[in-house]
């Protein structure tokens, strides 16, 4: 596996004129920073979010900040499989091809378990299955690109997640366990989908990234809607703000994975310093996790994902 060049930044991004990119969760935080960088380098960008008012405002802000006009907001509730598939159908009709898909949208540790209309726990629905659906359904557009990239945005949350196949409804709800396991599943699907596409001789590359610790809209300590661990994290970041890096810096691993000619498929990129907390893009220690090399487990997750989503 090749390491990125040292101190890779947005200045190292190639020209993206003529390219089309979709960024889920692109209306704020790190996703907004990713979208701005892609726009500045010439890409046509579609940002996806749940709230229409927030999305329209974000698109206008991106135009003002970058001086580029080729950005469109598309609304979709990615917790709903039918809505996610409808979004994919709209994109299939709208775009001539797709060069970059960044599955960035996520939910982080709600205090209480929420079941979606499809009977899935909310984090499983948004963090993992929405990206699986979009990647699968948008494959015809990705295959029209000469060198398409799919990037699953994982998380610095390491823990010791244990993937089982009876947990998608979040019974026996433990926010931290489910969150870290959905992120592990994202990383596993990077490996599995890249294997399938390579075996099929296709030019689509699937890779992953982690933003490290990013200074974004983490819920406040007073919020009762997030798990206690999130509230403690918010308090620590207030007291020690230097722990987190800017959204622009946190976006670099995903931007490297999505645009650099040397980025490899089937691996995860993360900040190089403080055990993946901050810094410039580098290969992440998660690439050594045994689950990413257990072919039977990867195959089983792929089969389960198809069964749950129907794609």
**Whole-number Å distance between alpha carbons of 290 and 84:** 31
Q: Residue 11 in contact with residue 37, Cβ under 8 Å?
A: no
Distance of CA 120 to the CA centre of its chain: 19
Count of CA atoms in the C-beta half-sphere (13 A) of 49 = 20
- DSSP letters, 51-74, are -HHHHHHHHHHHHHHHS---EEEE
Q: What residues are annotated to the active site?
A: 179
Residue 287: count other Cβ atoms within 10 Å of its Cβ: 18
For residue 79, give the nearest of 111, 48, 110, 124 by alpha carbon: 124
For residue 12, give the nearest of 257, 293, 297 by alpha carbon: 257
* Cβ neighbours for 271, distance < 8 A, ≥ 6 positions apart: 210, 211, 212, 245, 249, 250, 252, 253, 277, 278, 279, 280, 281, 282
**Whole-number Å distance between alpha carbons of 282 and 290:** 19
Phi, psi of 45 (to 5 degrees): -120, 135
């Amino acid at each position: 596996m090749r390491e990125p060049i040292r101190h890779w930044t947005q200045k190292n991004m190639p020209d993206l004129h003529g390219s089309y990119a979709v960024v889920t969760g692109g209306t704020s935080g790190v996703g907004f920073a990713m979208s701005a960088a892609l726009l500045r380098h010439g890409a046509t960008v579609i940002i996806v979010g749940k709230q229409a008012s927030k999305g329209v405002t974000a698109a206008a802000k991106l135009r003002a900040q970058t001086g580029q006009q080729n950005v469109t907001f598309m609304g979709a509730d990615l917790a709903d499989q039918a809505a996610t598939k409808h979004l994919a159908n709209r994109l299939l009709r709208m775009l001539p091809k797709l060069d970059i898909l960044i599955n960035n949208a996520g939910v982080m540790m709600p205090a209480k378990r929420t079941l979606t209309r499809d009977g899935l726990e909310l984090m499983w629905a948004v963090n993992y299955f929405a990206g699986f659906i979009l990647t699968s359904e948008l494959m015809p557009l990705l295959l029209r690109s000469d060198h398409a990239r799919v990037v699953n945005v994982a998380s610095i949350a390491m823990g010791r997640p244990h993937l089982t196949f009876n947990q998608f409804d979040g019974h026996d709800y433990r926010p931290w366990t489910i969150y870290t396991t959905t992120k592990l599943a994202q990383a596993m699907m990077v490996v599995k989908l890249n294997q399938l596409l390579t075996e099929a001789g296709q030019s689509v590359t699937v890779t992953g990234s982690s933003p490290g610790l990013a200074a974004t809209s983490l819920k406040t300590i007073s919020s009762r809607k997030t798990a206690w661990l999130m509230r403690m994290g918010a308090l620590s970041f207030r007291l020690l703000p230097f722990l987190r890096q800017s959204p622009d810096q946190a976006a670099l691993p995903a931007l490297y994975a999505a645009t650099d000619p040397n980025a490899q498929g089937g691996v995860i990129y993360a900040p190089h310093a403080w055990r993946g907390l901050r810094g410039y893009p580098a290969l992440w220690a998660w690439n050594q996790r045994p689950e990413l090399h257990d072919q039977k487990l990867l195959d089983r997750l792929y089969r389960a994902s198809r069964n749950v989503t129907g794609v």
